[in-house]
Amino acid sequence: MSNFWQNFVKIAWRVPPVRLYSSTGYKSAISLENLYPGSSLKLTTPKPPNQEQEKFTGYIPIEELDITYSRSTGPGGQNVNKVNTKVEIKFHVNKATWINEDIKIKLAEKFKNKITKEGFAIFRSDLTRSQQLNLADCLEKIRASVRSCEIEETKPPEETEEKIRRRLERASRERLALKRGRSQVKSDRQAPQ
Amino acid sequence: MGSNSTEKALSILRYLPRCKKRGRGQHGGDKHGAGNKGSGQRQNYMRLGYETGNNPFYLRFPHEPYYQGHHLRRQYPPLSMLELQTLIDTNRIDPTKPIDLVAILNTGLYKLFPDQKQFGVHLTDEGADVFKTKVNIEVQWANEIVIAAIERAGGVITTAYFDQHSLQAMLNTKKFFERGVPIPRRMMPPPDAIEYYSDPDKRGYLADPEKISQQRLVLAQKFGYLLPKIEEDPEYEMLLERKDPRQIFYGLHPGWVVNLKDKVILKPEEQELQRYYAS
């Protein structure tokens, strides 16, 4: 049993009473330094992406949004009566720094039902039972709206339009011909005038 | 050499009958290869696998995979964020130090049974909206709502894997030290768990911290809160404190023997041992 201790040297090193969690610098072969040699291995707060870009990056500065919570509608007993799960986000479209000018115009036109007279866009959500998830849903709605304004609607070429017009015309013609035929059948059942 | 024999075999095959052809004419005639009476001659064949009434081979051995792979399924008993907040509020857990599984087990209010395939704490999102404490917490499983709640409060969350031996040591640390056994190295997660613990989305302990920083911003944007500037936090050092992937306890290295009676720590001097415990 005493041979076991020969591999160890007794160091009279008292366990420090304070700061038990001091970083003691233990580095194994699979430490993060070895797994990611080029990384700084520190947690930092990254800067938000550049706002001057043409395309909407998906970044929304939360401080510019006016978020209010209220109680949701529908069944749910005590929970729905008490918990503020409904989320309403308001922001002024023209004053928004995170949307491009041309997209603002399109947004104002496409989502005019969501924009008040003063110019505030209102997005609401009471999809889930959780306030956090509803907030996430609201933000997703805003992002989806902005992205839908970015997509340029492509008009179908003239040939396709002509084809569609001819198709509809033919369908109408056939329908009317059938109708006339049925009408003739009905009138043939009557006595000739 | 091989090609010669294969060529020969192929040339022989050309003259062998490829399938049982229907007998027609002279010596293929009479019963035309259909035998006597029975389903064969009457072209009313038995289904494939049928053994004329006895229990067929394909039905003899039932497949009831109820416990298939049960020994590989890991369990993570839940701990809600509400419970965690209560533990902090009642001074059972100190939020000014990093919180890990040992701290949670030492409260005595959370039980873990590693021999029942339980591998650690699953922090659930019940009470996530009322969680307001800034903590540096290390759990074994957490979803994005929990991660968002902790980061919104200014804290740091890491998901880490502990193997069975490490868990047994962490369960009753005093008892483990009294055994006089050197602290073991923590093993790597099994293949189906490595992806989870290397994912910056899940704040895995094997993920790149730079990518985790990026994901913090992504999550803050997703859930609509302002990401607190962690570098300007006075407790930045404490929040950044992390265990090495091979480390079980904060402040203690694998290979050390902790002697609680004499209040000393014995460290290996032998080169071989030092190399092993640092691998």
pLDDT tens for A64-104 read 999 999 999 999 999 999 989 999 999 999 999 999 999 99
CATH number of residue A131's parent domain:
3.30.160.20
The DSSP result for chain B, as a single string, is: -HHHHHHHHHHHHHHS-SS-PPP-SGGG-TTTT--SSHHHHTT-PPPTT--TTS--HHHHS----TTTTGGG--B--EEEHHHHHHHHHTTSS-TTS-B-HHHHHHTSSS---GGGTB-S-EEE-TTGGG-----EEEESEE-HHHHHHHHHTT-EEEE----HHHHHHHHTHHHHHHTTPPPPPPPPPPHHHHHHHT-GGGTBTTS-HHHHHHHHHHHHHHHT-PPP-GGG-TTHHHHH----TT--STT--TT-EEETTTTEEEEE--HHHHHHHT-
| Average pLDDT score over residue span B82-90 | 97
Residues B279, B275: Cα–Cα separation, whole Å: 6
- Residue position matching structure tokens 């496409």: A110
- Chain B residues whose CB is inside 8 A of the A69 CB are none
Q: Is residue B274 part of a domain?
A: no
Distance CA B106, CA B91 (A): 12
The minimal CB distance from A32 to the residues B209, B257, B278 is found for: B209
Classify the phi-psi angles of B30: left when phi > 0, otherwise alpha if psi is within -120 to 50, otherwise beta: left
- Average pLDDT over chain B reads 93
The pLDDT, as a whole number, for residue A64 is 94
Q: What percent of chain A has pLDDT over 70?
A: 88
CA distance B277 to A121: 61
Q: Summarize pLDDT for B32-70 with one digit per residue, the tens.
A: 888 889 888 898 888 999 999 999 999 999 999 999 999
Q: Do B265 and A13 touch (CB under 8 A)?
A: yes
What domain range includes position A139? 64-150
| A51 part of a folded domain | no
Q: How many domains does chain A have?
A: 1
In a domain, A177, yes or no: no
Contact B216 A43 (CB under 8 A): yes
Calculate mean pLDDT across residues B258-264: 96
Tens digit of pLDDT for each residue in A176-188?
999 999 999 999 9
What integer pLDDT is reported at residue A19 of this predicted model?
A: 30
How far is residue B107's CA from residue B146's CA, in Å, rounded to a whole number?
Answer: 21
| CA end-to-end distance (rounded Å), chain A | 127
Is B271 among the domain residues? no
Cross-chain CB nearest to B129 (options A10, A45, A132): A132
Residues A66, A39 contacting (CB under 8 angstroms):
no
Q: Which domain holds residue B7?
A: 2-252
In a domain, A145, yes or no: yes
Q: How far is A139 from chain B (nearest CA, A)?
A: 7
Residue A11 is predicted with a pLDDT of: 43
The residue of chain A with its CA nearest to that of B156 is: A43
The Cα diameter of chain B in Å comes to 104
Q: What's the mean pLDDT in B233-239?
A: 95
Q: Which of B181, B157, B161, B160 is nearest to B169 (CA)?
A: B181
Q: CA separation (Å) from A37 to A40, B113, B209, B232, B243?
A: 8, 37, 12, 25, 17
On the CB side of A108, how many CA atoms lie within 13 Å of its CA? 16
Burial class (CB in 10 A: 0-12, 13-18, 19+), B245: buried
The helix (H) or strand (E) run that includes residue A53 is none
| Closest in B221, B224, B264 to A67, CB measured | B224
Q: Which residue has the higher pLDDT, B217 or B26?
A: B217
DSSP label of A122: E
In a domain, B278, yes or no: no
**Does a structural domain hold residue A35?**
no
φ, ψ (nearest 5 deg) of residue A110: -75, -40
Question: Of residues B171 and B18, which shows the higher confidence score?
Answer: B171
> Within a 13 Å sphere around the CA of B117, how many CA atoms are in the beta-carbon half?
7
Q: Is the pLDDT of residue A14 over 80?
A: no
Percent of chain B at pLDDT > 90 equals: 83
CA distance A15 to B251: 10
Higher pLDDT, residue A10 or B146: B146
Q: Is residue A48 part of a domain?
A: no
Q: Is the pLDDT of residue B140 over 80?
A: yes
pLDDT at B243 over 50: yes
Q: What is the pLDDT of residue B20?
A: 62
**Does A28 sit within 8 Å of B245, measured CB to CB?**
yes
User: Which are the contacts of B30, defined by CB distance < 8 A and separation ≥ 6?
Assistant: B23
- Non-local (6+) Cβ contacts of B82 within 8 A are B126, B127, B130, B131
Q: Are B242 and B205 in contact (CB under 8 A)?
A: yes
Residues forming a β-bridge with A88: A68, A124
For residue A15, pLDDT beyond 70: no
Q: Which two tokens stand for residue B217?
A: 């911003």
Cβ separation of B257 and A45 shorter than 8 Å? no
Averaged pLDDT of chain A: 87
Residue B219 has pLDDT above 60, yes or no: yes
Count Cβ atoms within 10 A of the Cβ of residue A178 and give its class: 0-12 exposed, 13-18 middle, 19 or more buried: exposed
Of residues B28, B208, B257, B274, the one with CA closest to residue A5? B257
Closest CA relative to residue A143, chosen from A89, A105, A102, A87: A89
Q: Give A14's contacts in chain B (Cβ within 8 Å).
A: 263-264
Contact between chains at B224 and A62 (C-beta distance less than 8 A): yes
Residue A12 above 80 pLDDT?
no
3-state secondary structure (DSSP) of residue A125? strand
Q: CB under 8 Å to B144, separation ≥6 — which residues?
A: B201, B219, B222
pLDDT band at B169 (very low <50, low <70, confident <90, very high): very high
**What's the pLDDT score for residue B17?**
65
What's the pLDDT score for residue B13?
Answer: 80
Query: What is the phi/psi pair of residue B176, to 5°?
Result: -65, -45
- Residues on chain A touching B212 (C-beta within 8 angstroms): 43
Mean pLDDT (whole number) for B245-269: 96
| DSSP single-letter state for residue A138 | H
Q: Can you give the pLDDT at residue B187?
A: 97
Inter-chain residue contact B244 with A28, CB threshold 8 Å: yes
pLDDT mean over A26-34: 94
- Judge whether A93 lies within some domain: yes
Whether residue B266 and residue A11 make contact (CB cut-off 8 A), yes or no, is: yes
How confident is the model at residue A171, as a pLDDT?
98
CB contact under 8 A, A28 and B97: no
The total domain count for chain B is 1
Asked if residue A105 belongs to a domain, the reply is yes
* Span A115-147, pLDDT tens digits: 999 999 999 999 999 999 999 999 999 999 999
Domain presence at residue A56: no
Q: Do B226 and A21 touch (CB under 8 A)?
A: no
Judging contacts by C-beta atoms under 8 Å, the chain B residues touching residue A22 are 251
Q: Which residue has the higher pLDDT, B81 or A52?
A: B81
Rounded to whole angstroms, the Cα distance separating B246 from B29 reads 79
pLDDT above 90: residue B202: yes
Say what percent of chain A tops pLDDT 90.
77
pLDDT (average), residues B148-167? 97
Interface mutation vs chain B, best among A45, A79, A133, most B CBs within 10 Å = A45
From A10, A26, A63, residue closest to B253, measured CB to CB: A26
Q: What is the ipTM of this complex?
A: 0.77
Contact B98, B146 (CB under 8 A): no
